[in-house]
Amino acid sequence: MKIKKISKKIITLLAAIILYSFAIVLTIHSQLGASPWDVFHLGVVNHSSLTLGQVSQLTGLVIIIAGIFLGEIPGFGSLMNMYFIGYFVDIIRKYQLVPYVDQLWQQFLMLILGIYLIGWATYFYLGVGMGSGPRDSLMVGLIKKFNASVWLIRAIIEGTALVIGYLLGGLVGIGTIIMTFFIGFAIQHVFKIMKKSPADIQHTTLLDIYNILKEKPFKKEIEKEKG
């Protein structure tokens, strides 16, 4: 794997993470109810001094560990997703880069746009093959284990997060119910358009990267590009 190829993948990954962060804030600022995972995150925020982004980061870490038990070894992208989505969500909200809207049609437009962007962002950061995001590692691991559809597995995962978040006092609305069932559909739709399946993507794990860095040809390539 060449340095330029890795650099291109990292840039694509970072762009997808930023897109995902904007999508999350769009759904929250629609004021129709937070997404299932954000209902959970906001519920935890209600019982702690952490920001929404920080709760997202800690949740991601726990889910990465769960994914490992399902055979999904994290990659560099998994760690970037875990940290930077929470980071960018806090930045976007702090500087009010996504406005709140009052009219119902505008709120639904923001919600639908956010859901669809989540589908595309998921496709792009999974597509670079540098590791699934924490929540998607769990999704992919369960898809492989039970040979079930993206839609079904995503709905079960997010339905569970929703129930726990609701019990913790997270914000629930009509938008929450819509996202519980349609985020998985949006992801599946995007992969269908691109004629790919998340279960077929071969990811480069942290162990793979370590082995690549130890290879002599890779070290020679670095010296050549520096020269």
Task: Quote the domain boundaries for residue 62.
Answer: 3-222
Residues 68, 203 contacting (CB under 8 angstroms): no
- Do the domain assignments include residue 133? yes
Domain count, the chain: 1
210 is a domain residue? yes
pTM for this predicted structure: 0.82
Give a yes or no: residue 78 inside a domain. Answer: yes
**Cα separation, 212 vs 214, whole angstroms:** 5
List phi, psi (to 5°) of 130: -110, 20
Residue 165 lies in a domain: yes
Distance of CA 7 to the CA centre of its chain: 20
Is position 170 within any domain? yes
143, 150 contact by CB (below 8 A):
yes
Average pLDDT over residues 46-75: 91
Q: Is 127 exposed, middle or buried (0-12, 13-18, 19+ CB in 10 A)?
A: middle
In a domain, 49, yes or no: yes
Q: What is the predicted pLDDT for the residue at 107?
A: 97
84: in domain: yes
Task: Check residue 135 and give its pLDDT.
Answer: 84
Task: Tell me the mean pLDDT in the region 94-118.
Answer: 95
pLDDT confidence of residue 225: 56
Contacts of 69 (CB under 8 A, 6+ apart): none
Q: Is 181 a residue whose pLDDT tops 90?
A: no
User: 11-15, 33-37, 70-74, 205-209: which has the highest mean pLDDT?
Assistant: 11-15
Question: What pLDDT, on a 0 to 100 scale, did the predictor assign at position 10?
Answer: 87
Q: Is residue 227 part of a domain?
A: no
Give the rounded distance of the alpha carbon of 190 from its chain centre. 15
